[in-house]
Chain A
């Protein structure tokens, strides 16, 4: 193998599994250390810079960082149940305990730059664009059909998961930057909007249409059958306050999970989730399923809905075909009937949560914006520009329904594109991130980070008692970690951003680092091709998603090979190294956001 090029910012970034996996590349270990140090406001601001809604995301994020977290792999073969660090819930701790951070927020631009930006929809994508651009002097106007800003975070995510004051606060920080919000205003025509002469238009209108199920009985029993996302919005607006005693929820995504748990709180005594395919294939996250089942909601799988059963316009139940999964020679799965008799499940109300679609009825097809055959805009996937370069899309409107953190990530990228475009620079040239790599050495055995490794298992977030929680729709179920538990959970973080950095020329091949390494990460061996090298290291390097760090040839002509996979970042290798060939250096990466640092021409420093 060739020696690893650690000057490529991508190399060490990938080692920080959580940050790499986060669509907005939040510097996770950095904020976790700040929480451990009791610096909650600082931790909050690190988050706020990257993901704009730490309090909201700390309760609702899909947390792609957690399955990626190294701690989960490190605990494999070591304890009962390997678990990642509770990254998401620690974020909430920063938000809960931060105190007043208003003074730390960016100031409104003193002077405008004369550029006008329109954002359609006030969801997380648009709000991120607004946050990034408004302080630079852009005049940003955000339009939404609803009276309040927040998008689906406000109208879809139920209050028992996300209290409204948290939304008000964090949406408020954005609007307070001098963003103009026009609520209660549905944009009906893109052409008309374009005619208003905005310098750029950002479309963040989401994926607002819930899929229906056109089955026999659908029309006859219509009064008792609801589209999940519409029903959740009605619950939010208070138009729906009760639900039938027996409720069926169709679908296996997070909308289904929110529907069933809301139904439990609105009088549903037996609420059942029914999915077509297997339990494990459901789109909802494992924790969402756990939460639902914890509230006494069974999930029935491998049942294909056939018909709504009704009597005199009244829904009586639903009929399902029992199926099982079969895998063809090509590995593709199909659902085949088991041959068992159809199953009738009695119910009074059905919530259909079988998917969401994009819809752009207000964008005229001759407005100059190209759409593909699935009805999605044709976009440059890096700049998010449409075929009209000054019209950009982000969030669920761009590539179909995703989640809040992706919407935020899109918002940042779109803001960079707009800033470059309106500065006369090529948006397709993307600015490199800002990185630093700083030694953490303080003394022979002292580091400026806490390198001791906590043996503790993941801590559980306390819950409100279930019978109490089920009585009210607006009672938050999760109570959040207290300060002490948060500290202990923070100790589980391995500080993956504190990198092991190797200097070939200093190594005397004494083996001290190999001997001390608790995880058998380090080998000194003859070089070879990667696949072969992976098999003959101190411990086999079987996780191909994780890189090998390879040195240049050493005095004995061997090379140092470090498998990054399960390194604890404990620094023991560096402590045992007599020559300082190993050093522990903190790698901090900030994605480049709109503003001077994203532009090629950087005039006078402010």
Chain B
């Protein structure tokens, strides 16, 4: 929180993207979070990603639940559609919005408390259904907003600020997402924007459910020695499996690379996800192998990050249901009300 508004003045070299906006045009209100909160860095990464993708702000819907993390949509994309749901209910409200208007880009923002505790049911079913969204969990291992109780993602044995060890087993959101068939699964770290921005860009461009678990240290309640979600701990235990470049447009696709060094995955929108391997054996298109890798390395105490899984043949809820291609708000009376004859036909079919 600061008392003054962030000045509108910007660097003289600040440039505009293809749709005519500067990066600053994607900002929101000044953050009220604690200084140094990882969530603010994620907001900055979302701003950067949307600017780089030439997304028109008014074509984005950002939805969230309750928590410090869920407050952040107020601090970015000030000109986008927004909805704060009750605690843990972001996925179902977003699902409804998406069904009604499939023309928007959907960004769901949640916390580990919001998604792994009260919203657990919502989280898993949105994934099962394959709702087309970028679902970002800003994961700090605590309920930040309610002053730092352990959340369900806190590691067993991790020590609270007051010195008490967590005795419960953690929920691993990445493992769950892989198991439930999410078609884009990634983990990032708020302290590494070079890695995070492309992961967000890939998630926004993915048609299908994209789950992004971002470790985001809570400077007030979970950044001490003994925490496994602190800046220091994550930096020391980070095991990045790959580096992602999101390449837009056709020209880039032709670029050659040594097949041993990178994997290209073409998304529905034509963009290419180019994954430069950091771990030579890691193949993110193989879901089962990804699950095994993540489990193995996490058991060793590593924080596995990168684009962990992407399904080149992803589908989404609209595809499963065979819904109409046009957003509902663009359908006229003629399409919505097929007339007495059509109704009679339907009724006849049900007799």
Instruction: Check B232–A511 contact: CB distance below 8 A.
Output: no
Stretch at the interface among A40-48, A102-110, A448-456: A448-456
B41 touches A576 (CB 8 A): no
**Within the complex, which residue of A73, A74, A510, A520 is in contact with B41, where a contact is CB–CB below 8 Å?**
A510
Q: List 21 A-B contacts (CB under 8 A).
A: A74-B9, A76-B12, A77-B12, A445-B2, A445-B3, A453-B4, A508-B223, A508-B231, A509-B191, A510-B38, A511-B41, A512-B35, A516-B6, A518-B9, A519-B11, A520-B11, A539-B14, A540-B13, A542-B13, A576-B35, A576-B36
Cross-chain contact B10 with A519 (CB below 8 angstroms): yes
Contacts of B24 in A (CB 8 A): 518
Quick one: CB contact mask for B285-299 with A, threshold 8 Å, 1 for yes? 000000000000000
Contacts of A29-74 to chain B: CB distance below 8 A: 73-74
Contact B232 A77 (CB under 8 A): no
Q: Which of these, B4, B5, B11, B44, contacts A511 with CB under 8 Å? A: B44
A230 contacts partner chain B, Cβ-Cβ < 8 Å: no
* Nearest-Cβ distance from residue B299 to partner chain A, whole angstroms: 26
Known A75-B9, A518-B6; further 20 A-B contacts with Cβ < 8 A: A77-B12, A78-B8, A78-B10, A508-B36, A508-B223, A508-B232, A510-B36, A510-B231, A511-B44, A512-B41, A515-B44, A516-B40, A518-B24, A568-B7, A572-B2, A575-B2, A576-B2, A576-B36, A578-B34, A578-B35
Chain A to chain B: the 5 pairs with minimum beta-carbon distance, closest first? A578-B36, A77-B12, A515-B44, A453-B7, A76-B12
Task: From B5, B11, B43, give the contact of A566 (CB < 8 A).
Answer: B11
Taking CB atoms and an 8 Å cut-off, the chain B residues in 1-52 that contact chain A are 1-14, 24, 34-38, 40-41, 43-44
The residue in chain A whose Cβ has the minimal distance to the Cβ of B22 is A77
Chain A 439-476 interface 0/1 with B at a Cβ cutoff of 8 Å (1 = within): 00000011000011101000000000000000000000
A303 to B43, alpha carbons, bound, how many Å?
61
**Chain B proximity of A556: nearest CB distance (Å):** 7
Given A76-B12, A539-B11, answer yes or no on A570-B36 (Cβ-Cβ < 8 Å).
Answer: no
Residue of B nearest to A452 (CB): B4
* B73 CB–A CB distance under 8 Å: no
B35 near A577 with CB under 8 A, answer: yes
CB-based contact B7/A570 at 8 Å: yes
Say how far B345's CB is from chain A's closest CB, in angstroms.
59
Return the contact of A510 from the options B1, B8, B12, B191 (Cβ within 8 A).
B191
Question: Are B43 and A556 in contact (CB-based, < 8 A)?
Answer: no
- In Å, the complex CA distance between A514 and B38 comes to 12
Looking at chain A's contact residues, is the secondary structure mostly helix, strand, loop, or mixed? loop
Q: Which label, helix, strand, loop or mixed, suits the secondary structure of the B interface? A: loop
Q: List residues of B whose CB falls within 8 A of some A CB.
A: 1-14, 24, 34-38, 40-41, 43-44, 190-191, 193, 217, 219, 223, 231-232, 235
Q: Interface residue tally of chain A, by bracket?
A: 35 or more
Most chain B CB atoms below 10 A, which of A74, A78, A518: A518
Give Cα A452–Cα B12 distance, bound, in whole angstroms.
20
CB distance from A178 to the nearest CB of B (A): 49
Q: Which residues of A contact B8 (CB under 8 A)?
A: 78, 455, 518
A-chain residues with CB within 8 Å of residue B40 when the two chains form the complex: 512, 515-516, 576
Chain B residue nearest to A514 in the complex (CB): B44
Complex contacts, A540 vs chain B, CB 8 Å:
13
Chain A residues with CB below 8 A from B37, complex form: 510, 512, 578
Which B residues lie within 8 Å of A556 (CB)?
235
How distant is B63 from chain A, measured CB to nearest CB, in Å? 22
| Contact residue among B4, B7, B11, B38 (Cβ-Cβ distance under 8 Å from A455) | B7
Shortest CB distance B20–A (Å): 15
CB of B119, distance to nearest CB on chain A (Å): 27
A451/B191 contact (C-beta < 8 A), A77-B12, A508-B36, A539-B13 known: no
Contact bitstring A207-220, B, C-beta under 8 A = 1, else 0: 00000000000000
> Within the assembled complex, what's the spacing in Å between the Cα atoms of A555 and B232?
9
Contact of A579 with B by CB under 8 A: yes
For the complex, what is the distance from the CA of A540 to the CA of B11, rounded to whole Å? 10
Given the complex, which residues of B lie within 8 Å of A578, measured CB to CB? 34-37, 219
